[in-house]
């Protein structure tokens, strides 16, 4: 991953040519990366010259509200610029890739907001956070499909001629059951069902009570509604995985169902865009991002998802990014800036 060398060591690289910002705004946290606007095309992930990296809380407007989300975005960008020893007037382009941006009206509101933050002729691009995640696996080239499974989940695809499609990503109320929230919510429900006799007994009860330091399943109801934030619920996923690894049937069913949900999400996008070709055998990049897809001891969720997808599309080429999505967003901002300079120069 690109080096985070804050301060004067890379500030000279930016110089009068300014900087670009990439923001990955998630339901759990928000990351902003600052790059020199005049940098050459990075030859490898390790060669990305990161001037600064800042982290803040959630910026998903559907989770924390629009006012809090915008406050977080401004905070994280301001912090990154300060760490890079530069100012807002030096910003040449910004790519905001934010979860919860699902409609052109969402993009327009955010564009109007960010234009007031930065003076001058900076260019702004607002996308769903899936776009940055895809770019992190393809080093800024928007082609292929990305599957994000963290607190929330979404599959997002782009063809080489710019057609896009997505599936899921509508939040827990509308059925992102392959997400971290979905997995954990099903586990909490299973514990309550087991307690009142509507479902089979499960070791999830002991695992979750221990994790939450509660003495009875009855207390789970109060714990859940005291703060039903998506990230807080999703943090229980490792407990579900541990229970499944120890052989619990209920936990294993939750994970198997979630694997199928995630696979079906990717399959829907790939088919709509024909990323795999007419005969569904062509190779295409599948970028995998998010805590749910990180490797576990026995229960390899990402591996199981890839198996399911590969049965349908044998040309699936899984990619685990070597840079984080915020760098993907920054590379998109840099790419847009570079194209603008070429047009201005008539080349």
pLDDT tens column, 31-54: 999 999 999 999 888 899 999 999
Q: How many CB atoms lie within 10 A of CB 173?
A: 7
Give CA–CA dist 279/313, Å, rounded: 9
Stretch among 101-115, 184-198, 318-332 having the lowest mean pLDDT: 101-115
Nearest to 204 by CA among 191, 189, 220: 191
74 lies in which domain range? 19-141+323-345
Give CA–CA dist 37/127, Å, rounded: 20
Nearest to 32 by CA among 98, 113, 87: 98
DSSP 320-339: --SS-HHHHHHHHHHHHHHH
How many structural domains comprise the chain?
A: 1
The proportion of the chain whose per-residue pLDDT surpasses 90, expressed as a percent, equals 71
**Domain assignment of residue 217, yes or no:** no
**Domain assignment of residue 274, yes or no:** no
pLDDT at 11 over 70: no
Q: What are the φ and ψ backbone dihedral angles of 331, each rounded to 5 degrees? A: -65, -35
pLDDT at 6 over 90: no
Q: Which residues contact 319 (CB under 8 A, 6 or more apart)?
A: 137, 138, 144, 285, 286, 287, 288
**Domain assignment of residue 73, yes or no:** yes
**Domain assignment of residue 33, yes or no:** yes
pLDDT at 185 over 50: yes
Cβ atoms of 178 and 262 closer than 8 Å: yes
pLDDT at 3 over 80: no
Ramachandran bin of 171, using left for φ above 0, alpha for ψ from -120 to 50, beta for the remaining angles: left
Stretch among 179-193, 255-269, 296-310 having the lowest mean pLDDT: 296-310
**Domain assignment of residue 192, yes or no:** no
User: Can you point out the beta strands (E) in the chain?
Assistant: 19-25, 30-36, 52-56, 91-98, 123-127, 144-149, 153-158, 164-168, 284-289, 316-319
Query: How does pLDDT run across 141-172, given as a tens digit for each residue?
Result: 889 999 999 888 999 999 999 999 999 988 77
**Domain assignment of residue 199, yes or no:** no
Cβ atoms of 212 and 191 closer than 8 Å: no
**Domain assignment of residue 280, yes or no:** no
Nearest to 332 by CA among 81, 168, 143, 108: 143
User: Can you point out the beta strands (E) in 39-83?
Assistant: 52-56
pLDDT of residue 14: 53
pTM for the model stands at 0.82
Give CA–CA dist 154/334, Å, rounded: 25
User: What are the C-alpha distances in Å from 168 to residues 41, 48, 267?
Assistant: 33, 31, 12
Q: Tokens for 238?
A: 């490792």
**Domain assignment of residue 40, yes or no:** yes
Nearest to 61 by CA among 17, 105, 7, 94: 105
Nearest to 271 by CA among 179, 176, 165: 165
Q: CATH number, domain at 92?
A: 3.30.420.40
Per the listing, tokens 């910002």 go with: 21
Q: What is the DSSP letter of 33?
A: E
pLDDT at 180 over 90: yes
């Amino acid at each position: 991953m690109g080096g985070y060398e804050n301060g004067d060591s890379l500030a000279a690289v930016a110089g009068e040519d300014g900087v670009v910002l990439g923001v990955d705004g998630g339901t759990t946290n928000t990351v902003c990366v600052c790059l020199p606007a005049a940098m050459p095309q990075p030859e490898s992930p390790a060669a990305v010259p990161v001037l600064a990296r800042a982290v803040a809380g959630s910026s998903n407007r559907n989770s924390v509200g629009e006012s809090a989300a915008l406050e977080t975005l401004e905070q994280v960008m301001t912090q990154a610029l300060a760490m890079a020893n530069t100012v807002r007037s030096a910003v040449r382009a910004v790519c905001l890739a934010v979860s919860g941006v699902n409609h052109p009206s969402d993009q327009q509101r955010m564009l109007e907001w960010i234009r007031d933050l930065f003076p001058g002729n900076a260019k702004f691009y607002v996308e769903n956070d899936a776009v940055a995640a895809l770019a992190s696996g393809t080093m800024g080239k928007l082609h292929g499909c990305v599957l994000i499974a963290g607190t929330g989940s979404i599959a997002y695809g782009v063809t080489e001629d710019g057609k896009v499609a997505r599936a899921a990503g509508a939040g827990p109320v509308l059925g992102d059951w392959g997400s971290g929230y979905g997995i954990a919510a099903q586990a909490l429900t299973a514990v309550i069902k087991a307690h009142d006799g509507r479902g089979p007994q499960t070791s999830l009860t002991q695992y979750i009570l221990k994790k939450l330091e509660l003495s009875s399943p009855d207390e789970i109801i109060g714990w859940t509604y005291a703060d039903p934030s998506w990230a807080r619920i999703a943090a229980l996923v490792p407990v579900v995985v541990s229970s499944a690894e120890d052989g619990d049937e209920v936990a294993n069913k939750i994970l198997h169902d979630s694997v199928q949900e995630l696979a079906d999400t990717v399959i829907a996008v790939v088919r709509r865009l024909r990323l795999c070709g007419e005969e569904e055998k062509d190779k295409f990049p599948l970028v995998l991002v998010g805590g749910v897809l990180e490797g576990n001891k026995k229960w390899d969720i990402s591996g199981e998802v890839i198996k399911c997808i590969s049965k349908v599309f044998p040309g699936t080429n899984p990619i685990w990014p070597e840079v984080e999505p915020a760098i993907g967003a920054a590379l998109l901002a840099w790419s847009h800036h570079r194209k603008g300079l070429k047009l201005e120069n008539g080349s």
